Chain A
Amino acid sequence: AQRVTQPEKLLSVFKGAPVELKCNYSYSGSPELFWYVQYSRQRLQLLLRHISRESIKGFTADLNKGETSFHLKKPFAQEEDSAMYYCALSDPNAGNMLTFGGGTRLMVKP
């Protein structure tokens, strides 16, 4: 069975500090990995997907198949990055079904 683990429930950093939100997964195959973000009083929304190899709002994530990880990184945190972040996995053959991790709350202090 597929599983996504986010070991930190809360991550607190100061503005300007680097951020790394950890995500590990278990899946027998080639999964598709995503990061979703939920800002206060807003809807859950897609931040980035691994196949795009994109940088969104300064965030990047690299899929490491050897370590089965998909950590989210940003070199300099901003206060507006404070939010709940969810790592998610999709089976390419299972439609839109997403398996989510437990989420990490990022707090960026001024």
Chain B
Amino acid sequence: KAGVTQTPRYLIKTRGQQVTLSCSPISGHRSVSWYQQTPGQGLQFLFEYFSETQRNKGNFPGRFSGRQFSNSRSEMNVSTLELGDSALYLCASSRLPTSPAYYEQYFGPGTRLTVT
């Protein structure tokens, strides 16, 4: 079956702009999580969505937001971009919003965002 897909794969934006990233989970998966990966901070959890509701949120400013649609596809938005937002943004999907110990999370290839 097809894996998690993320679009676009690469993006260049200017400070102050906003950006929207998209994630399509594996068919049948209803939980979508987002992570930010940077050389300095590593992999950090942003938020998780299930049934169009945010279930968990990491320690990020309100400029970072997300949503999930009825078909489980998810988008994340970053407003008023800062240089420090340059990162690889990973999306992961799982069948249910329970621990990955029971339902494996599958990661997408990521979207590389560069803010200039």
A: residues with CB less than 8 A from B are 32, 34, 43-46, 49-51, 86, 90-92, 94-103
Contact A44-B97, Cβ < 8 Å, known A95-B56, A100-B42: no
List the A side residues contacting B100 at CB < 8 Å. 32, 34, 46, 49, 90, 96, 98
List the B side residues contacting A99 at CB < 8 Å. 45
Min CB distance A7 to B, Å, is 14
Min CB distance A90 to B, Å, is 5
CB atoms of A97 and B43 under 8 A apart? no
CB atoms of A97 and B48 under 8 A apart? yes
Tell me the complex Cα distance, A43–B48, Å.
19
Contact A32-B99, Cβ < 8 Å, known A95-B48, A96-B48, A96-B105: yes
Interface flag for B58 (CB, 8 Å): yes
Interface flag for B108 (CB, 8 Å): yes
Tell me the complex Cα distance, A90–B43, Å.
14
Q: Closest residue to A1 on the B side, CB-wise?
A: B59
Contact A43-B42, Cβ < 8 Å, known A95-B48, A95-B99, A96-B31: no
B: residues with CB less than 8 A from A are 3-4, 31, 33, 35, 42-45, 48, 50, 55-56, 58, 90, 92, 94, 97-101, 104-109
Min CB distance B80 to A, Å, is 25
Tell me the complex Cα distance, A96–B74, Å.
15
Min CB distance B52 to A, Å, is 15
List the A side residues contacting B90 at CB < 8 Å. 44
Min CB distance B57 to A, Å, is 9
12 sample A-B contacts, Cβ–Cβ < 8 Å, listed by A number: A34-B100, A43-B4, A43-B106, A46-B104, A91-B99, A95-B98, A96-B92, A96-B97, A97-B48, A98-B43, A100-B44, A101-B42
Set A92, A97, A101, A102: member contacting B33, Cβ < 8 A: A97
